[in-house]
Amino acid sequence: MKQANGVILATVLATAAVAHAQPTPDTPPAGAGGDHPVSPEPDAHRAPDPAPSPDGKVDPPVDRYTAPAGPAGPTGPTGRAGPMGSERPPIDFPEVLRIPTGWLLPAAALYSTTSVDTGGGVASDYRVGLGDVAEFGVATTDQVRARDLATDKPERIQPYIVASFRLGVAEHRLFDAQPGVTLGFRKSFERTHSGEKSRIAELTLVASKHLGTRAALHLGGAIWDASLQATEAAPGEDAAPEVTLHGHGYGHQLRVFGGFEAQPLPRSSILVDIGWAPEFCYQCTEPTEKIKLRPELSWGVRYQVARFLHIESGVRVPDIGNFNLLDAQIFGQITLTSYALRTAVDRLK
């Protein structure tokens, strides 16, 4: 019996030796063609292979949004959702308070923000990062305002639903001092309000640069556009004439915007931005008075409550051209970020 056991043991060992691990049969050979590199099967979670970059160098397989090492607190550099023990890189927010930044969400990162203010304004914004080079979002904005006559007090049109798509190059991507740059486009669905159909659109180019680890500067330009048309035509007309902002020339469309943020404490940031928002005047007779852009000032603070949760509060002045503190609104805002989708995608890979 002992002899038999010995033979069995020897056979099992021999079998094990013969049946050693085989290569994955259909793993494409190195250098196999294709539009994109393909991960070998044995380790789908490994970092992707390096790809050629626009500067001709081969990048190491790291996330380009990883914060540079520095003395930042648990929140990371200014404006970033800090990792706080997470393996995921910090997220540079796509907005200061009202203006877009030159930073994009990382691939498959989710972002949402909801705000209310003392004037009854409610706004929500939902975005997802696409491939570390773009992001898509849908939002309801409370920035668009309208009045019947030039002497009336403007009222918000809400909800005003917009979709956005931004494309860009991450900070430090091409060279060390390179700011993050994004080309963004935001366009609304058509909205009917007080018998007038309106639409807005905004094309932006913005650059954002970290100044050290606790401050950042944002500067951009925008081409705004909007259209306004009565839903009912005047007697004898097929359709009411449409008034557009682009019909009045670039001088009425081009605007500069900017913002600044500083992080005096590890979890707290101070934010200031100046942007623009369209305003309609339904009964104004001059076409150039029917659609106007108003400068908007916002300032406030952001506090990181948890890795995924930030709260913001501050003041908005909807029209600083007509500086009236009675128009100013105090707002509160909650921002959530998540890598849940990215985790799910990684698992599927």
Partner 1 sequence: MHRRVVTLLALAAAARAARADPATPQPSLGAVFRRPIHSPRLFAMPSADVVGAYMLSLSGDASLLEKPGVLTSAGVVAIGFGDIAQLEYRHTEAIGVTGLDAPVPAVGVQLTLPLPERRGLPAIGIAFRLGVPRRETIEGMTVDETVTDLYLVARLRDDHVPWLTLHGGTRISSAKAAPSDPALVQQRTLVLPTAGYEVAMTPTAKIVGEIALAPQFQWKPATSPRPAIGRGLLGRLGMRWQVLPSIVLDGSLGYQIDDAAPTDGFDAVVTWDIRLGAEVFVPWGALACRAVGVFCE
Q: Which of residues 91-110 bind partner 1 (CB under 8 A)?
A: 107-108
The one-letter amino acid at 349? K
Q: Is 347 in the site for partner 1 (CB under 8 A)?
A: no
Contacts of 123 (CB under 8 A, 6+ apart): 114, 115, 139, 140, 141, 142, 143, 158
If one asks whether residue 45 binds partner 1 (CB under 8 A), the answer comes out as no
296/327 Cα distance (integer angstroms):
11
Furthest-apart CA pair in the chain: how many Å?
A: 110
| 38 binds partner 1 per the rule CB under 8 A | yes
66 binds partner 1 (CB under 8 A): no
Q: How far is the CB of 133 from partner 1 (least distance, A)?
A: 5
Is 34 a binding residue for partner 1 by CB under 8 A? The answer is yes
Binding of residue 183 to partner 1 (CB under 8 A): yes
Tokens of 137: 């979002």
Q: Which residue shows structure tokens 């852009």?
A: 293
Q: How far, in Å, CA of 71 to CA of 78, rounded? A: 12
Count of CB atoms situated within 10 Å of the CB of 258 = 18
Coil vs helix vs strand at 14: helix
**74 binds partner 1 per the rule CB under 8 A:** no
Q: How far is the CB of 176 from partner 1 (least distance, A)?
A: 18
Which 115-134 residues touch partner 1, going by CB under 8 A?
130-134
Residues 286-345 that bind partner 1 (CB under 8 A): 345
250 part of the interface to partner 1, by CB under 8 A: yes
25/85 with CB nearer partner 1: 25
Pairing of strands 80-81, 291-306: unpaired
Position 2 contacts partner 1 (CB under 8 A)? no
> What would the x/- binding string for partner 1 be over residues 219 to 238, using CB under 8 A?
----xxxxx-----------
